[in-house]
Amino acid sequence: MAVDRLSLEIPDRSITVLVGPSGCGKTTTLRMINRMVEPSEGTITLDGVDIGRQPVNSLRRSMGYVIQNAGLFQHRTILDNIATVPRLLGWSKDRARTRARELMERVGLDASLAKRYPYQLSGGQQQRVGVARALAADPPVLLMDEPFSAVDPIVRKGLQEELLRIQDELGKTIVFVTHDIDEAIRLGTMVAVLRTGGRLAQFAPPAELLTSPADAFVEDFLGADRGIRRLSFFTSETLELTKTPIVAVDSSAEQIASRATPEVPYLLVTGIDGKPLGWSEPGELTAGEITAERLLPYGRPFEYGKDSLRAALDGAVLSPTGWAVAVDGTGRAVGVVSQQTIGEAIRRAHAEGHRDEKVAG
């Protein structure tokens, strides 16, 4: 049996991810939701109504379906691909095309692509067309079967961000299938980890999955670095930043000398625009001269309050001084923070996380 006694409560207006190894029954489960596969036993209810009692046509109309490799009609233009369902629903050509143009914009496709055919688009663009087509009739439910698996990691990240944005704006109920656990953790409000036979190994929010995997199978499937990856659920806003060591490249020797403190053995030099240039040792700077060539690299800055503790820790680990650089949305340095301070924030976050879990039962 492809899927055996799977029981899931899929929350409204959020992304539920089904993840599991190849052949475990993800596609079958998805196809049962729109009745392309009929379960031999059991029921699926939507808003409390058994979908088995609903006419297949109206059921499918309420569900957009995105399949792997986009599955576009090769002989139709991009615009007509997207307009397919509205046309089937009897919309006029004009109205359907206007809607299709709107959707191209929404999924980040340039209007100039409208008249092209699928083979004239990149893989990532084709995936966007697939998403636009599924959204065309504004269905409340979106079923997505490994929609981003055929594109490179960078395009994939872009598509994931786009999907999160669309979800934010449109509030669809999305069931998303993937075999990539990182994608599941990134996108899911709830994540269902399936094992062979469509049996449910665990159904939990991503942070909980990383903290307390139900068994060895889930733990194995989550892979290495569980602790580090969990840090992406904690904000960097709790970090106390130090501003003293930041000096601008045009500072005077006295200004620079006044910044050197025993707690901060290095100074972060910024351009006159406030953006970081690199680290310098104070001894060098008290000579009164800053030469950009002599600076140590500052690693990868994190955006304070927006990026997570994981990004902050990564910045500190990459920095030759062991201090991470915090920037604002415009890239200006707003402070620096040591590995030790980040370590303390991590311990606090874990302690609070555990308290929350207890509250949640």
Ligand X SMILES: Nc1ncnc2c1ncn2[C@@H]1O[C@H](COP(=O)(O)OP(=O)(O)OP(=O)(O)O)[C@@H](O)[C@H]1O
Question: What are the residues binding ligand X (CB under 6 A)?
Answer: 2, 20, 22-28, 179
Q: Confirm if 147 and 155 have CB atoms less than 8 A apart.
A: no
40/330 with CB nearer ligand X = 40
Query: Per rule CB under 5 A, is residue 178 in the interface with Mg ion?
Result: no
Query: Per rule CB under 5 A, is residue 173 in the interface with Mg ion?
Result: no
Among 17, 18, 19, 27, which residue sits at the site for Mg ion (rule: CB under 5 A)?
Answer: 27
Question: Residue 170 and residue 177: Cα distance in Å, rounded?
Answer: 20
27/34 with CB nearer Mg ion = 27
Nearest distance, CB of residue 57 and ligand X, angstroms: 22
Nearest distance, CB of residue 233 and ligand X, angstroms: 26
Nearest distance, CB of residue 25 and Mg ion, angstroms: 8
4/352 with CB nearer Mg ion = 4
Which residues lie below 8 Å from residue 113, measured CB to CB, with a gap of 6+? 78, 104, 121, 125
Q: Confirm if 113 and 121 have CB atoms less than 8 A apart.
A: yes
Q: Which stretch binds Mg ion (CB under 5 A): 26-34, 94-102, 256-264, 272-280?
A: 26-34
Minimal CB distance to Mg ion: which residue? 27
Pick from 309, 170, 171: nearest CA to 240: 309
Pick from 220, 221, 189, 186: nearest CA to 203: 189
Question: Residue 101 and residue 79: Cα distance in Å, rounded?
Answer: 7
Task: Tell me the CB-side half-sphere exposure of residue 167, using CA atoms within 13 A.
Answer: 22
Q: Which stretch binds Mg ion (CB under 5 A): 1-9, 19-27, 91-99, 277-285?
A: 19-27
Q: Which partner from the list Mg ion, ligand X, none does 22 bind, CB cut-off 5 to 8 Å by kind?
A: ligand X
20/188 with CB nearer ligand X = 20
Nearest distance, CB of residue 19 and ligand X, angstroms: 9
Q: Confirm if 193 and 202 have CB atoms less than 8 A apart.
A: yes
Query: Per rule CB under 5 A, is residue 338 in the interface with Mg ion?
Result: no
Q: Which partner from the list ligand X, Mg ion, none does 246 bind, CB cut-off 5 to 8 Å by kind?
A: none
Nearest distance, CB of residue 146 and ligand X, angstroms: 7
**Which stretches of the chain are DSSP H helices?**
26-33, 56-61, 78-82, 84-88, 93-106, 123-135, 153-170, 181-187, 206-211, 216-222, 226-230, 253-259, 282-285, 309-318, 339-359
**Which stretches of 117-236 are DSSP H helices?**
123-135, 153-170, 181-187, 206-211, 216-222, 226-230
Q: Which partner from the list ligand X, Mg ion, none does 179 bind, CB cut-off 5 to 8 Å by kind?
A: ligand X
44/337 with CB nearer Mg ion = 44
29/202 with CB nearer Mg ion = 29
Residues at the site binding Mg ion, with contacts judged by CB under 5 A: 27
